[in-house]
């Protein structure tokens, strides 16, 4: 097999050296190899980094999210993200916690190279069917399988933030785009599911990263959604509320034929500080 020079800066998760593409196999110079699955993704989540047999979202959650997002309810958020990528002329993106690829797929329309990474293999398997031009990777944020100083923009939507790893993979002038629930996100639904509702606190992000990043843009995106019974069930199932809420409250809410709830997102764009 002949080595192919790849513009995708993947890193071996075992020895942290560059991975090269040999037909349908990623391999490093020390002969660690990772085959591209028939669905079109590569699994770089090695067993020594796993804390459970099937980490990440469940199949039920992934399926529900695919159905809900496919209906377009979060399209305004998707559009806002892609507009920022276009505005800042981003060439390379690493989407951390890409899930089933709804946002990652849209990012690829505006950037030259996009890597979608998630710890849940079930999610990445579905994502890989959306867009073959994205490099889809099963991996963990604990050790991002990407070479240092190669990424223009790291994105994280509702996912844990491996800050030190993000700093490592970003270029000197790289950006970090974070989307997190705003204070009142899905408030009406949460109020129906729980006896007490605590507001989200997105403001922590604006100070949490101040040592290493400058906040250059922020926006709160809020709009109402009118959900059918099926849409509401999908929304509940794709969130942690599916197992955190009392069963009787969930059953009662899911009997609603129509339900109105606000989506409310806080969007932060940070730029890496000069060293």
98 has binding-site annotation? no
41 has binding-site annotation? no
141 has binding-site annotation? no
Are 127 and 135 contacting, i.e. CB atoms less than 8 angstroms apart?
no
Measured CA to CA, the distance from residue 12 to residue 209 in angstroms comes to: 28
Is 192 exposed, middle or buried (CB count within 10 Å of its CB: 0-12, 13-18, 19+)?
Answer: buried
3-class DSSP state of 151: strand
Tokens 């059918």 correspond to what residue? 228
Helices and strands, number each (H, E), in the chain: 10, 11
Are 197 and 190 contacting, i.e. CB atoms less than 8 angstroms apart?
yes
Best CA proximity match to 28, nearest among 46, 40, 54 = 46
Best CA proximity match to 232, nearest among 179, 182, 193 = 193
45 has binding-site annotation? no
101 has binding-site annotation? yes
185 has binding-site annotation? yes
183 has binding-site annotation? no
DSSP 196: S
Cα distances (Å, whole numbers) of residue 67 to 72, 127, 140, 233, 260: 9, 13, 25, 10, 18
Provide the token pair at 248. 């009787």
Residue ranges of the annotated binding site for S-adenosyl-L-methionine are 74, 100-101, 185
Residue ranges of the annotated binding site for Zn(2+) are 12, 15, 28, 32
Residue ranges of the annotated binding site are 12, 15, 28, 32, 74, 100-101, 185
């Amino acid at each position: 097999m002949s080595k192919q020079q790849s513009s995708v800066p993947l890193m071996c998760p075992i020895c942290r050296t560059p991975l090269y593409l040999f037909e349908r196999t990623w391999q490093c110079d020390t002969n660690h190899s990772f085959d591209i699955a028939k669905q079109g993704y590569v699994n770089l989540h090695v067993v020594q980094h796993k804390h459970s047999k099937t980490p990440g979202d469940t199949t039920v959650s992934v399926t529900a999210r695919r159905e809900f997002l496919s209906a377009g309810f979060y399209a305004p958020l998707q559009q806002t993200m892609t507009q920022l990528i276009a505005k800042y002329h981003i060439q390379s993106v690493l989407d951390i916690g890409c899930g089933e690829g709804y946002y990652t797929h849209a990012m690829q329309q505006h950037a030259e190279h996009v890597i979608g990474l998630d710890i849940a293999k079930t999610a990445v398997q579905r994502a890989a069917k959306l867009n073959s031009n994205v490099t889809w990777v099963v991996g963990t944020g604990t050790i991002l399988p990407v070479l240092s100083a190669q990424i223009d923009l790291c994105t994280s939507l509702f996912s844990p933030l491996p800050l030190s790893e993000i700093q490592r993979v970003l270029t000197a002038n790289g950006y970090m785009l974070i989307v997190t629930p705003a204070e009142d996100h899905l408030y009406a639904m949460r109020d129906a599911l729980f006896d007490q509702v605590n507001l989200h606190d997105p403001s922590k992000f604006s100070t949490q990263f101040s040592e290493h990043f400058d906040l250059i843009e922020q926006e709160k995106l809020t709009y109402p959604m009118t959900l059918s019974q099926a849409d509401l069930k999908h929304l509940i199932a794709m969130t942690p509320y599916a197992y955190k809420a009392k069963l009787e409250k969930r059953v009662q809410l899911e009997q609603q034929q129509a339900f109105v709830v606000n989506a409310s997102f806080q969007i932060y764009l940070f730029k890496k500080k000069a060293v």
